[in-house]
Structure 1
Amino acid sequence: MSLFDRLDWLQKAIDILPVGVWLMDREGRIEYGNPAGQRIWGGARYVGPEQFGQYKGWWVDSGTPIAAHEWAAARAISQGETSIDEEVEIECFDGQRKVVLNSAMPVRDEHGAILGAIVVNVDITERKRLEEHLRQIADRDPLTRVLNRRSLYETLASEIQRARRYRSPLSVIMFDIDHFKRINDNYGHAVGDRMLLGTVETVRGELRAGDQLARYGGDEFVIIAPGTDREQTSALAERLRNLIAGVQVPALPPVTCSFGVCQADEEDADGLIARADRLMYEAKQSGRNRVVTG
Structure 2
Amino acid sequence: MAAIRRPLSIRERRLLDAIASPVLVVAGDDVPVLVAINPAACRLLGRSSAGRPTLESAIGPEAAATLAKAIASMALGGPGPSVTLACGAAGMIRFDLGRDPHDPGLVMIALRSATDPLSAIEELAQMRSVLESLPVGVEIYDRDFNALFYNGASDALFDYEGAAVLSHDAWWRHAFPDPALRRAAREDWRRTVAAAKADPSRAHMREWTVRARDGSIRTVQFYYRFLGDRFALVLWDVTEQRRLESELRAAARTDALTGVANRRRFAERLAYDIAAARSSGKPLALIALDIDHFKAINDRFGHAVGDEVLKAVAKRASGALRHDDMIARVGGEEFAALLPRTTGEEAKLIADRLHRAIVGSPIVLEELTLGVTISLGGALLRAEDATPETLMARADAALYAAKARGRNRVSFEGD
Do the structures match in fold with TM over 0.5? yes
Q: What is the aligned partner in structure 2 of residue 259 from structure 1?
A: 376
Q: What is the aligned partner in structure 2 of residue 178 from structure 1?
A: 292
Residue 127 in structure 1 maps to residue 229 in structure 2: no
Distance in 2 (CA, whole Å) between partners of 1:162 and 1:117 is 49
Q: Which runs of 5+ in 2 are unaligned?
A: 1-116
**CA-CA distance at 1:97 after TM superposition:** 1.0
Q: What is the aligned partner in structure 1 of residue 404 from structure 2?
A: 285
CA 1:78–1:195 in structure 2 vs 1: closer, same or farther (change >3 Å)?
Answer: closer
Residue 41 in structure 1 maps to residue 158 in structure 2: yes
SS at match of 1:101: strand
Which moved further from structure 2: 259-268 or 195-204? Answer: 259-268
Distance in 2 (CA, whole Å) between partners of 1:3 and 1:277 is 81
Distance in 2 (CA, whole Å) between partners of 1:283 and 1:65 is 57
**CA-CA distance at 1:216 after TM superposition:** 0.9
Q: Match for 1:41: what amino acid?
A: F
Q: What is the aligned partner in structure 2 of residue 100 from structure 1?
A: 220
**CA-CA distance at 1:70 after TM superposition:** 2.8
Q: Match for 2:396: what amino acid?
A: D
Contact 1:173 1:237 in 2 (8 A): yes
Equivalent runs, 1:103-252 vs 2, <5 Å: 103-108=223-228, 115=229, 117-249=231-363
Distance in 2 (CA, whole Å) between partners of 1:291 and 1:196 is 19
Q: Match for 2:257: what amino acid?
A: L
**CA-CA distance at 1:185 after TM superposition:** 3.0
Which moved further from structure 2: 236-245 or 166-175? Answer: 166-175
Q: Match for 1:149: what amino acid?
A: R
CA 1:73–1:209 in structure 2 vs 1: closer, same or farther (change >3 Å)?
Answer: same
Q: Match for 1:205: what amino acid?
A: G
**CA-CA distance at 1:95 after TM superposition:** 0.7
Deviations 1:73-95 (A, max 9, x none): 77416973666443322111321
Distance in 2 (CA, whole Å) between partners of 1:290 and 1:18 is 61
Deviations 1:93-135 (A, max 9, x none): 3210111222212344xxxxxx453222111112222223333
Which moved further from structure 2: 146-155 or 48-57? Answer: 48-57
Q: What is the aligned partner in structure 2 of residue 52 from structure 1?
A: 172
Deviations 1:146-195 (A, max 9, x none): 22222222232233334445554433221011222233333333332222
Distance in 2 (CA, whole Å) between partners of 1:214 and 1:162 is 19
Which structure has the larger Rg over C-alpha atoms? 2
Distance in 2 (CA, whole Å) between partners of 1:168 and 1:31 is 60
SS at match of 1:67: helix
SS at match of 2:130: helix
Q: What is the aligned partner in structure 1 of residue 36 from structure 2?
A: none
Q: What is the aligned partner in structure 2 of residue 111 from structure 1?
A: none
TM-score normalised by L of structure 1: 0.80
Contact 2:325 2:338 in 1 (8 A): yes
Pick the aligned partner of 2:391 from 269, 272, 275.
272
Deviations 1:8-36 (A, max 9, x none): 54343222211112222333332222111
Deviations 1:181-218 (A, max 9, x none): 23333333333222222211211212233332211111
**CA-CA distance at 1:232 after TM superposition:** 2.1
Distance in 2 (CA, whole Å) between partners of 1:288 and 1:42 is 65
Higher relative contact order (CA 8 A, sep 6+): 1
Pick the aligned partner of 1:89 from 196, 201, 209.
209
Distance in 1 (CA, whole Å) between partners of 2:344 and 2:182 is 38
TM-score normalised by L of structure 2: 0.59
Contact 1:57 1:89 in 2 (8 A): no
Identity percentage of aligned residues? 34
* CA RMSD between the two structures: 3.2
Deviations 1:27-82 (A, max 9, x none): 33322221111213354633454873443189xxxxx7662523437741697366
**CA-CA distance at 1:222 after TM superposition:** 1.0
Distance in 1 (CA, whole Å) between partners of 2:346 and 2:186 is 47
Distance in 2 (CA, whole Å) between partners of 1:35 and 1:150 is 45
Residue 10 in structure 1 maps to residue 127 in structure 2: yes
Q: What is the aligned partner in structure 2 of residue 31 from structure 1?
A: 148
Contact 1:175 1:260 in 2 (8 A): yes
**CA-CA distance at 1:144 after TM superposition:** 1.3
Residue 72 in structure 1 maps to residue 189 in structure 2: yes
**CA-CA distance at 1:220 after TM superposition:** 0.5
Contact 1:68 1:74 in 2 (8 A): no
SS at match of 1:28: coil
